[in-house]
């Protein structure tokens, strides 16, 4: 068994599992944080703007061309780099006027041929963003499985990302024209990824904090198109929790991970032998809206692959939620508004109701909450439709009948409104709370709203844990609105992961290298299992402990089989040998088969041999002894053998201990000890020591004839 890590980090899982000539891809997440290397749209970072001072308490943006003492400034000979990069407080960003957004995909180059991948298993909608790159830009022809909410919501989120990306691309062209740059700038989109340019950049950054920032950026890709999403998602087969999928001798079963709508952990089992469990994006919280985490379906794995644990384990989600409400209340009471950049599905579904309840408690029920997203109404509709994928309390609301969530009630009260984008008749009544995307603050309507709400009374609260705070906010260092980082990450933390592992008791645990000092494979009984850490782009081999393999017998061959049945009536009189001829009190059927073993669709099958096959195997007649030895019958048979009697041989029997005998046969013609035949005999073992080949064959025949099984 092999496990390949195609992902760039633990937070963008993509693993390739190779087992018994079957290849299964586990998730295909984008390294979405790479979007932070680009400057946000709708902001102008030319030199004239950089020299302006907006009276901001934060550090101002530095101009690459005006500060030669800055260690990140480009030297005169490297002025070419100024066409592509902007220096903001010592951090290099790709200029929004010279490039479209490029996305950091998993290392698909590690896969020689995608047509050899048999299956893709998706755990949740956050780990599906790279799927169109596989289905539409490679020769992949396998099966894809995900739960229905993962498929439907995942499709919405990908289409939203494509729309935001398209808006960014258009704004970049407009920026080029508005900045009075020459027409050549319109052709700069991919030039910054030129190897020569990146080599200059890396040489300039040697020894600096961001030395390796763009080292592999030459392989970043343009985003796919909407038509690619349509074609890709048509190939996904939707399944339910605990529904069994059988392919190529494997059984794959998803179970609830408790993280989001339809989020799943996967069990991959090989015909009852090896059991592999894949855990990603799991939450043990019982107060959130998704169906709760299921433990029993993933219990006792031989191999456990664990990824995507809480980004900020020292910031519990409940504590961050309390701080979020406190900050919102403080801002609103001062007459300010709150912007919350977020994904359009996920923790946001928890926050809507929680914030509405909080506003009622603090006497601010009149404060409107806005949800601005091109997929806002569709996400809210799916959240109400998929009641079977929700927790028990929300399922009960659906049966009353009421909608599982309170969105409709809040809308009727005028406290909650959903808009597709800021230009769709959006008129906010300040003060207010606005949820919108993208959480990176590089694309989407959030960039427009940040400029619109640039006021010291207003607050921007960053709640998504996928994006580094410093890298996110540096391009906005001239904004005078307050920006605060309150990551709300409901995924399991290290303590919960260790507790979960102790209950699951995996024989072997695979974790990302960065979890090494925090996650242990200690079982509830005090024993320790094996732990292997895996690095990005790493490949590890796992020892296979399976001793048997399941297979099938061709119907034609099966009809020719003649079996011998072992039952209790055929057992030895020796009471100590009566336990091996039955299994669970059922008789054992044994037969000899002559056939050809082959593999078809990753399943073993024994077929009748054709003429050419028969010629090859006719000389192979290996025999097997099946069953236990009847000690009493063997002793009687040796004692009554005519050859020993005619030769006058002396036969002695010694009972060494219970069920273990030593038989000595001494020749009448030779009394030397080295000429004495010794037979060591027990119900499960026989050892013949003799220098006479005739005697050895004679005793062997006696043993075979008195086996409580048969000789095949």
CB of 128 closer than 8 Å to CB of 99: no
pLDDT for the residue numbered 580: 43
Report d(CA 113, CA 107) in Å as an integer.
13
When pLDDT is cut at 50, 70 and 90, the band that residue 182 belongs to is very low
pLDDT for the residue numbered 683: 80
* pLDDT tens, residue by residue, 244-257: 999 877 899 999 99
pLDDT for the residue numbered 672: 62
Q: Which residue, among 586, 593, 570, has the nearest Cα to 706 in the 3D structure?
A: 570
Highest average pLDDT, of 46-50, 83-87, 277-281, 310-314, comes from: 277-281
Does the pLDDT at position 56 exceed 60? no
Given phi > 0 = left and psi -120 to 50 = alpha, else beta, which region is 168? alpha
Which two structure tokens, joined as six digits, stand for 233? 């998602």
More confident residue, 84 or 508: 508
Sheet of strand 275-280, all strands in order from the earlier edge strand to the far edge: 245-247, 250-256, 264-269, 275-280, 303-307, 508-512, 530-534
CA separation (Å) from 183 to 78, 111, 472, 534, 656? 21, 40, 30, 47, 100
User: With pLDDT > 70 as the criterion, what percentage of the chain qualifies?
Assistant: 83
Does the pLDDT at position 123 exceed 90? yes
When pLDDT is cut at 50, 70 and 90, the band that residue 651 belongs to is confident
* pLDDT tens, residue by residue, 665-676: 887 666 566 678
* pLDDT tens, residue by residue, 456-494: 999 999 999 999 999 999 999 889 999 999 999 999 999
pLDDT for the residue numbered 206: 66
Sheet of strand 236-239, all strands in order from the earlier edge strand to the far edge: 236-239, 143-147, 119-121, 22-26, 15-19, 2-5, 539-541
pLDDT for the residue numbered 20: 81
Report d(CA 290, CA 151) in Å as an integer.
16
DSSP annotation of 290 reads B
pLDDT for the residue numbered 457: 96
* pLDDT tens, residue by residue, 18-39: 988 899 999 999 999 999 999 9
Highest average pLDDT, of 229-243, 617-631, 638-652, comes from: 229-243
pLDDT for the residue numbered 583: 52
- In this structure, which long-range contacts are made by residues 66-72, counting pairs with CB atoms below 8 Å and at least 24 apart in sequence? 71/208, 72/205, 72/208, 72/210
pTM of the model: 0.79
Q: Give every CB contact of residue 30 below 8 A, 6+ residues apart in sequence.
A: 12, 103, 104, 105, 106, 129, 130
Which two structure tokens, joined as six digits, stand for 511? 């974790």
DSSP annotation of 133 reads H
**Residues 121, 127, 128, 133, CA torsion sign:** negative
* pLDDT tens, residue by residue, 553-605: 988 888 888 877 755 444 433 333 333 445 556 777 777 788 888 887 767 88
Q: What is the DSSP string of 328-351?
A: HHHHHHTT--EEEE--SSSTHHHH
Calculate mean pLDDT across residues 350-374.
Answer: 95
Report d(CA 130, CA 148) in Å as an integer.
18
CB of 88 closer than 8 Å to CB of 61: yes
pLDDT for the residue numbered 623: 59
Calculate mean pLDDT across residues 192-207.
Answer: 77
pLDDT for the residue numbered 563: 78
CA separation (Å) from 676 to 78, 247, 634, 696? 94, 59, 18, 12
CB count in 10 Å sphere of residue 202 = 14
Does the pLDDT at position 162 exceed 90? yes
pLDDT for the residue numbered 518: 94
* pLDDT tens, residue by residue, 139-159: 999 999 999 999 999 999 999
pLDDT for the residue numbered 313: 84
When pLDDT is cut at 50, 70 and 90, the band that residue 212 belongs to is low
* pLDDT tens, residue by residue, 254-307: 999 999 999 999 999 987 678 999 999 999 999 999 999 999 999 999 999 999
When pLDDT is cut at 50, 70 and 90, the band that residue 499 belongs to is very high
Domains along the chain?
Answer: 2-236 (no CATH), 317-485 (3.40.50.10890), 551-623 (no CATH), 631-711 (no CATH)
More confident residue, 49 or 675: 675
More confident residue, 649 or 256: 256
User: Minimum mean pLDDT among 198-207, 250-259, 404-413, 420-429: which range?
Assistant: 198-207
User: With pLDDT > 90 as the criterion, what percentage of the chain qualifies?
Assistant: 53
* pLDDT tens, residue by residue, 88-103: 887 888 887 777 899 9
Does the pLDDT at position 184 exceed 80? no
Calculate mean pLDDT across residues 522-544.
Answer: 91
Q: What is the mean pLDDT of the chain?
A: 84
Which two structure tokens, joined as six digits, stand for 627? 């069953």
User: Minimum mean pLDDT among 233-237, 339-343, 562-566: which range?
Assistant: 562-566
DSSP, collapsed to helix, strand or coil, labels residue 637 as helix
Which two structure tokens, joined as six digits, stand for 336? 């300010």
Angle between helices 148-178 and 226-233 (to 10 degrees): 170
Backbone torsions φ then ψ of 443, nearest 5 degrees = -135, 170
**Residues 481, 484, 485, 489, CA torsion sign:** negative
pLDDT for the residue numbered 636: 85
Residue 430 CA neighbour count, 13 Å, CB half: 14
Calculate mean pLDDT across residues 392-408.
Answer: 89
224 strand-pairing partners: none
Report d(CA 431, CA 334) in Å as an integer.
9
Measure the N-to-C terminal CA separation of the chain; round to a whole number of Å.
Answer: 34
pLDDT for the residue numbered 620: 54
CB count in 10 Å sphere of residue 75 = 9
Report d(CA 64, CA 47) in Å as an integer.
8
Does the pLDDT at position 61 exceed 70? no
pLDDT for the residue numbered 51: 35
């Amino acid at each position: 068994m092999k496990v390949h890590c195609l992902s760039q980090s633990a937070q963008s899982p993509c693993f390739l599992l190779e087992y018994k000539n079957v290849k299964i891809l586990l998730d295909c997440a984008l390294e979405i944080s790479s979007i932070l290397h680009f400057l946000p749209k709708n902001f102008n970072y030319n030199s004239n703007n950089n020299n302006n001072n907006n009276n901001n308490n934060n550090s101002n943006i530095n101009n690459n061309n005006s500060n030669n003492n800055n260690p990140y400034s480009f030297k005169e000979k490297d002025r070419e780099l100024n066409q592509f990069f902007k220096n903001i407080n010592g951090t290099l960003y790709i200029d929004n006027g010279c490039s479209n957004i490029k996305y950091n995909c998993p290392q698909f180059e590690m896969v020689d041929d995608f047509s050899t991948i048999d299956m893709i298993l998706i755990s949740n909608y956050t780990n599906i963003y790279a799927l169109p790159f596989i289905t539409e830009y490679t020769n992949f022809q396998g099966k894809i499985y995900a739960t229905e909410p993962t498929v439907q919501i995942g499709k919405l989120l990908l289409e939203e990302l494509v729309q935001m990306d398209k808006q960014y691309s258009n704004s970049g062209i407009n920026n080029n024209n508005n900045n009075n740059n020459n027409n050549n700038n319109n052709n700069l989109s991919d030039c910054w990824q030129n190897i020569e340019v990146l080599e200059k950049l890396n040489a300039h950054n040697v020894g600096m904090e961001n030395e390796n920032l763009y080292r592999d950026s030459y392989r970043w890709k343009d985003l796919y198109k909407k038509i690619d999403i349509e074609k890709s998602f048509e190939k996904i087969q939707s399944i339910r929790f605990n529904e069994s999928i059988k392919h190529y001798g494997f059984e794959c079963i998803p179970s609830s991970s408790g993280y989001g709508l339809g989020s799943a952990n996967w069990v991959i089992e090989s015909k009852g032998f090896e059991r592999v469990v894949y855990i990603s994006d799991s939450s043990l919280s019982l107060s959130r809206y998704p169906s709760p985490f299921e433990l029993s379906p993933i219990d006792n794995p031989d191999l456990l692959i664990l990824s995507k644990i809480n980004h900020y384990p020292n910031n519990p989600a409940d504590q961050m939620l309390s701080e979020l409400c406190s900050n919102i209340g403080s801002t609103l009471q001062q007459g300010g508004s709150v912007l919350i950049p977020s994904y359009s599905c996920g923790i946001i579904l928890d926050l809507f109701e929680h914030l509405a309840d909080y506003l009622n408690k603090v006497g601010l029920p009149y404060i409107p909450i806005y949800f601005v997203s091109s997929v806002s109404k569709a996400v809210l509709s799916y959240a109400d439709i998929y009641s079977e994928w929700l927790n028990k309390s929300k399922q009960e609301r659906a049966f009353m009948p009421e909608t599982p969530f309170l969105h409709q009630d809040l809308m009727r009260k005028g406290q909650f409104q959903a808009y597709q984008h800021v230009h769709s008749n959006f008129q906010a009544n300040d003060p207010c709370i606005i949820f919108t995307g993208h959480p990176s603050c590089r694309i989407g309507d959030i960039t427009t709203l940040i400029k619109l709400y640039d006021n010291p009374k207003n607050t921007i609260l960053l709640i998504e844990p996928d994006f580094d705070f410093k890298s996110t906010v540096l391009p906005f260092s001239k904004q005078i609105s307050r920006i605060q980082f309150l990551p709300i990450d409901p995924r399991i933390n290290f303590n919960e992961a260790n507790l979960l592992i102790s209950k699951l008791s995996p024989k072997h645990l695979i974790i990302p290298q960065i979890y090494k000092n925090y996650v242990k494979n200690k079982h509830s009984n005090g024993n320790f299992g094996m732990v292997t850490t895996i690095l990005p782009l790493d490949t590890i081999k796992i020892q296979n402990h399976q001793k048997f393999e399941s297979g099938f017998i061709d119907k034609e061959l099966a009809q020719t089989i003649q079996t011998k049945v072992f039952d209790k009536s055929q057992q030895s009189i020796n009471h100590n040998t009566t336990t091996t001829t039955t299994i669970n009190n059922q008789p054992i059927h044994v037969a000899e088969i002559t056939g050809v073993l082959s593999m078809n669709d990753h399943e073993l099958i024994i077929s009748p041999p054709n003429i050419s096959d028969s010629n090859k195997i006719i000389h192979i007649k290996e025999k097997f002894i099946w069953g236990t030895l009847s000690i009493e019958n063997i002793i009687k048979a040796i004692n009554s053998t005519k050859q020993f009697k005619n030769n006058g041989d002396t036969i002695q029997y010694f009972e060494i201990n219970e069920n273990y005998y030593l038989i000595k046969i001494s020749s009448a013609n030779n009394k030397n000890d080295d000429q004495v035949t010794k037979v060591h005999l027990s119900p499960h073992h026989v050892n013949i020591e003799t220098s006479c080949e005739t005697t050895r064959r004679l005793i062997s025949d006696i043993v075979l004839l008195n086996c409580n099984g048969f000789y095949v």
